[in-house]
Structure 1
Amino acid sequence: MEFDFDVGRVLVPFALEGDAGEGTPQVARLDDSALNGGKGALLRELLGVLGEGSRRAQGLSKPVTTAGPLMSNRIYLLYMGRYALGLLKVGTKRLFVSRGEKEGLVDISPTCVLDFYVVEGHQRGGLGRRLFDTMLRCEHTSPERLAYDRPSPKLIGFLRRHYGLAPYQPQANHFVVFDAYWAKAGVDPARSRSSAPGQRARELAAKLPPAPVPYVAGRQEDPRVQVIPPWASAPSLRQSRTGSRGPFQRAGQSTLSSPMSLVAAMAQGNL
């Protein structure tokens, strides 16, 4: 897409160093500070034309990229001399997405691809891959860690062909988060907006105290569990709170608290 001004000269302050040599396509990075500078008017014209080209190519009702404020988004422009060859718009968004049909929504805030366009006549020549890889390096991310806003069939094919991304769970918000995202996401379950069926019940059950263990004669009990045998509550073997002696208690002797104590006392002649 040719302009009546030297795109390269306008974008020199925003070019990524070491990205390309002389006479080859280069990439520049734009944000709101660039649009507010002295060359802001030319940059806004450039973005408006490319955004309209992207809209037509994708069959959208209105362009995603406009000459207006970028609102903390970033745009990567591919250019050479008087020609603008493509754009890639990214930004961080807070999304509620599902990991599967039986799972609840998870709150994530990934970098999102909002608009991706290579000018007609320059596609399938490696320019799109060059633009995309430059963005990945600058954003310090990888293709599977991105979310894609209403990607076109061409973009889906591009990601499958170059980065091996294919399976994904359709979302109500029309963003695409590939299944590979979750392999490295490390999402905190506490940030989940809802839980899978039955998960809440399991969480509550885990907080309940353990059920009492019934007494079984002759069984070796867990020393951490205090078990009260049936005879402990027998009135004839329980020490009176008032200090009175029970029927098996002689003066100077303590209350016999179990049948075993009673048998031992009889063997010693104490009863």
Structure 2
Amino acid sequence: SHGTALQAQHLPAPVTSASKLQSQRHQLYLLKDGESNGGRGVVVGFLKVGYKKLFLLDQQGAHIEAEPLSVLDFYVAENLQRHGYGRELFDFMLQHKNVEPVMMAYDRPSPKFLSFLAKHYCLTQSVPQVNNFVVFEAFFLNRAATQSRKVPLRKPDGEIKPYSLMEREVVRQEQKAPPWPFVPPHLPQESVSSQRSHSLSVESSPSRAATRAALASAPGSNRDQSPRFPLTERCREKRTSSLNRSQLGFH
């Protein structure tokens, strides 16, 4: 109910309603227990996400304009918390949107939600913002790496030659160079092999359609299943290894 959620989240007014969903381009994920309430079912929890255009401050205090997928509302019934339902709901959203939790922004997360992110996804180092959103340090690191891969290096400006002169120069260079496969000994031989190996790696890599099909075929109701993201996997491996050491008595 709205009243229970408002009390738990310490909100003055509901931020999720049917009318707001109709007027805003947000997505709502619901987790339902279909056997309760005399077979009519009951909502266990819900999660609302949407893209928000934000002006963020990075670690150096520089302003960055971004539009990340943001968690706008997240609630699990208090009597059903600590049963894995919140993680099941959150993991389903991550898999459906194909996004890592570190690349998301979080609108006014409660202390419980921040503990949830730290426990399951190792998100602890947040960067202070002037708005109500919370982002973490790796958000800016991964964003900078992604942009550097997408933006090609600009070639240095050179002298602009008339087209006829450029054409004659190319022809002269082709006439000087011996025909393939007679490559001069001073030229690296691995250029052809590297091109072939690159084409083989591209052909052998899975297509996007196959990846989407594999995700779609995975059962979303499996509570132990989680999305396969590098940062999330490394976080879970660290947690598992620390738990194993504590169980064996090592400190």
Deviation at 1:63, TM superposition (A): 1.1
2:64 is aligned to 106
* Equivalent of 1:164 in 106, 112, 122: 122
Larger-gyration structure (1/2): 1
> Aligned partners of 1:103 and 1:83: how far apart in 2?
45
1:67 is aligned to 18
* Equivalent of 1:138 in 96, 107, 131: 96
The C-alpha deviation readout for 1:204-232, integer Å capped at 9, x for no partner, is xxxxxxxxxxxxxxxxxxxxxxxxxxxxx
1:124 is aligned to 82
Deviation at 1:188, TM superposition (A): 5.3
> Aligned partners of 2:26 and 2:70: how far apart in 1?
10
> Aligned partners of 1:155 and 1:176: how far apart in 2?
11
> 8 Å contact 1:112–1:147 — kept in the other structure?
yes
More helix by share: 2
> Aligned partners of 2:92 and 2:143: how far apart in 1?
22
Q: Which amino acid aligns with 2:57?
A: S
Q: Which runs of 5+ in 2 are unaligned?
A: 35-40, 149-251
Aligned residues: 139
TM-score by length of 2: 0.53
1:94 is aligned to 53
> 8 Å contact 1:150–1:174 — kept in the other structure?
yes
Report the secondary structure of 1:103's partner residue: coil
> 8 Å contact 1:113–1:149 — kept in the other structure?
yes
> Aligned partners of 1:74 and 1:135: how far apart in 2?
10
Deviation at 1:185, TM superposition (A): 1.1
Runs of 4+ in 1 over 2 A off after TM superposition: 51-54, 186-189
* Equivalent of 2:6 in 43, 46, 55: 55
> Aligned partners of 2:73 and 2:4: how far apart in 1?
11
Q: Percent identity?
A: 43
The C-alpha deviation readout for 1:188-216, integer Å capped at 9, x for no partner, is 59xxxxxxxxxxxxxxxxxxxxxxxxxxx
Deviation at 1:183, TM superposition (A): 2.3
2:30 is aligned to 77
> Aligned partners of 2:147 and 2:3: how far apart in 1?
39
Q: Which amino acid aligns with 1:69?
A: K
> Aligned partners of 1:52 and 1:107: how far apart in 2?
35
Q: Which amino acid aligns with 2:110?
A: S
Report the secondary structure of 1:165's partner residue: coil
> Aligned partners of 2:87 and 2:107: how far apart in 1?
18
Deviation at 1:67, TM superposition (A): 2.6
> Aligned partners of 1:129 and 1:108: how far apart in 2?
26
> 8 Å contact 1:54–1:116 — kept in the other structure?
no
> 8 Å contact 1:55–1:64 — kept in the other structure?
no
TM-score by length of 1: 0.49
The C-alpha deviation readout for 1:133-177, integer Å capped at 9, x for no partner, is 000011110110110001000000000000000011111112001
Change (3 A) 1:110 1:52: farther
The structure, 1 or 2, with the larger RCO (C-alpha pairs under 8 Å, 6+ apart) is: 2
The C-alpha deviation readout for 1:77-110, integer Å capped at 9, x for no partner, is 000211110000000000000012x432100100
